Structure 1
């Protein structure tokens, strides 16, 4: 039987495609430290669960396609803390940030249109593009430059009449890069001059370290009508399983168009929306403690990698990921070997091969992405296993 070109051309997630091998390792009695996926072990605020427990209705009914009003209001309240002003008809609730991204792309592009994306990028950007018939055009960034954007003229050369948007993650997944104000102003100017949108994926907004300055694209008033903010409670409140995200724009006409897509899937789960609506009142101290914890975890991983022979990486200043170049030819082969053939006291580590985070062929082949989302003791143990694994792999 023949399947659609759309589905057969869609790449498997490099974050998840090796999961069956990890499951097999666990079934064989190994403990696996998962650094391959951004699943925090930080406790979800109790208010989320308390709100759900207090939910007492005789019928679990459909929600509104645009989202529960109280949840939309909570996002409005949240953005106001950053001096970003949205109104009720400028925000839609989505099934996680993933649906927000897919809907944003579908609302702007026809089949064959193009979206520029700095690479390496969150691998699902490629998948969403394939689903929507969109060509993802990479803007290659380099590790030695901290994955910051190339000069304006390099980006301008990639813009064609089919360019409908630039999609940017800030702070960046998988790089941890925080774009400077000058870089953002450059993209703003390109969007204005070339008449395209900016889709700004800002799910890691809170996770900024080392005194770096963070700014949202929503703060540029002169391009308010061409900025789309995609967001999520998943990482911010360690509530990945809630699958609550949002898409927001001051372009009310655009929001009306995206609502059609929201109506096509009826609604986001009602109970999870009720739980998520309470999260806006989580005290600011929660974020101070969480950010400090992630910074310490970052330092454990970065310092350990810097001491490993042949490993190259730059210190990330945001999100909770790091890209490292390993002294191996093929990172995926190495990751599989770690799971299948290596352990230290019956423990091993799982990483995400970084090749799938690039659109340009041949890039990232000897790189991995690591998520420093485990507790500090687990990260120290995982780094020790990785170091011993690299020695053993290269001495086979």
Structure 2
């Protein structure tokens, strides 16, 4: 029998989806499963975007330009320049989701065995993108005790070698929801200038900032034009994950010219998605205001409910629609699987993402779980009731302080 490649064998599985067979098994048993494991919003896609698809009128479903259609890039310029990015159509490469933008950036800017430093926990698929590109991730650990704030710059400097090529951040952060401050962004700027590094910035959650907090992009900082590459997506902003439409933004001409060669090799992004994305830029501000209000309420409900559970700690995030919480269990992956295989409350259970899969450091995050507050408030409340009941029954529950709750493993 032909052999599977070593790269394929070692390709990391997604912690977001790896428990899916157990969730499907629970559903086949008639259980209702509340999906808090994946960032698939239940918010309706803007009507203007859906109407653009319904009103499509073409006779040939053709290729588009490898860099994306000029009309869509013009609309993206309009969107980003409202946010003071000061970009042109020549600074934007349209991609099949932000995922493709990231892989193109890695292939454009890093050679095999080059290193990129990423604060962890980080979006799990960064591991996969790096593996596909033969790039090495050097993680710098952030901590739940201070809400997963940017680690001290001195911790980054300890990891810099002759192979280091980039710092990579996600802001607001997936999986933690942490929103970087202006001061933290300036620290990253100074570090990249000092060591002549790229600054990769995944900004898929730009529109999701709460409590009046302001979003800062490295695009807002002077002196970084040759260093910054921004990745973005319509998936979260417009609740259009299935569109698979993203972009790659930089003012570095050599990077854009090189990235375009990789974009040409994959031919082009989809025509229909770009037509929808073009229309989406005209989404009224009221849509975002309503979405922000809804997510703020969901976040408040989720964080409050988690912190009321004995032994659970959850920091209050400033953005995105995720939290990472610490749980009093022996191993969160085992707990999440047990929730799907063996537990139900009133024939209901919860699917979550074990946070260890969002770390690169061995054994980190084993007592943490990522939860996405992408369900309506009634379902979210029911999910929290299930979770609290499950924690009381779980046989691998840890001791909390000097008091033993449940069975110590």
What secondary structure sits across from 2:185 in the alignment?
A: helix
Q: Are 1:352 and 2:363 an aligned pair?
A: no
Cα distance in 2, alignment partners of residues 151 and 49 from structure 1:
44
Counterparts of residues 200-279 of structure 1 (less than 5 Å): 200-279=201-280
1:221 Cα deviation from its structure 2 partner: 2.5
Cα distance in 2, alignment partners of residues 357 and 85 from structure 1:
33
2:335 alignment partner in structure 1? 334
1:214 Cα deviation from its structure 2 partner: 1.6
1:131 alignment partner in structure 2? 132
Counterparts of residues 155-174 of structure 1 (less than 5 Å): 155-174=156-175
1:390 alignment partner in structure 2? 391
Cα distance in 1, alignment partners of residues 60 and 215 from structure 2:
43
Cα distance in 1, alignment partners of residues 26 and 74 from structure 2:
45
1:4 Cα deviation from its structure 2 partner: 1.8
Aligned length: 396
1:146 Cα deviation from its structure 2 partner: 1.2
2:402 alignment partner in structure 1? none
What secondary structure sits across from 2:191 in the alignment?
A: helix
2:73 alignment partner in structure 1? 72
1:175 Cα deviation from its structure 2 partner: 0.7
What secondary structure sits across from 2:200 in the alignment?
A: strand
1:3 alignment partner in structure 2? 4
What secondary structure sits across from 2:119 in the alignment?
A: strand
> Scaled by the length of structure 1, what TM-score is found?
0.98
Q: Are 1:154 and 2:158 an aligned pair?
A: no
1:195 alignment partner in structure 2? 196
Counterparts of residues 4-153 of structure 1 (less than 5 Å): 4-153=5-154
Cα distance in 2, alignment partners of residues 150 and 121 from structure 1:
13
Cα distance in 1, alignment partners of residues 140 and 75 from structure 2:
35
- Contact 2:119–2:151 at 8 Å: present in 1 too? no
Cα distance in 2, alignment partners of residues 285 and 328 from structure 1:
42
1:181 Cα deviation from its structure 2 partner: 1.2
1:211 Cα deviation from its structure 2 partner: 2.2
Give per-residue Cα distances to partners, 1:109-155, cap 9 Å, x unaligned.
11000000000000001110000000000010001111112222121
- Contact 1:7–1:131 at 8 Å: present in 2 too? no
The alignment yields a C-alpha RMSD, in angstroms, of: 0.9
Give per-residue Cα distances to partners, 1:160-213, cap 9 Å, x unaligned.
111110110000000111111111111101111101100000110111112222
Cα distance in 2, alignment partners of residues 270 and 28 from structure 1:
41
What secondary structure sits across from 1:101 in the alignment?
A: helix
1:81 Cα deviation from its structure 2 partner: 1.1
1:251 Cα deviation from its structure 2 partner: 0.7
What secondary structure sits across from 1:223 in the alignment?
A: coil
- Contact 2:169–2:201 at 8 Å: present in 1 too? yes
1:54 Cα deviation from its structure 2 partner: 1.8
Cα distance in 1, alignment partners of residues 26 and 109 from structure 2:
43
- Contact 2:112–2:135 at 8 Å: present in 1 too? yes
2:284 alignment partner in structure 1? 283
Q: Are 1:312 and 2:321 an aligned pair?
A: no
Cα distance in 1, alignment partners of residues 99 and 222 from structure 2:
26
Cα distance in 2, alignment partners of residues 53 and 238 from structure 1:
17
1:2 Cα deviation from its structure 2 partner: 2.6
Deviant stretches of 4+, over 6 Å = none
- Contact 2:172–2:209 at 8 Å: present in 1 too? yes
Cα distance in 2, alignment partners of residues 278 and 64 from structure 1:
18
> Scaled by the length of structure 2, what TM-score is found?
0.95
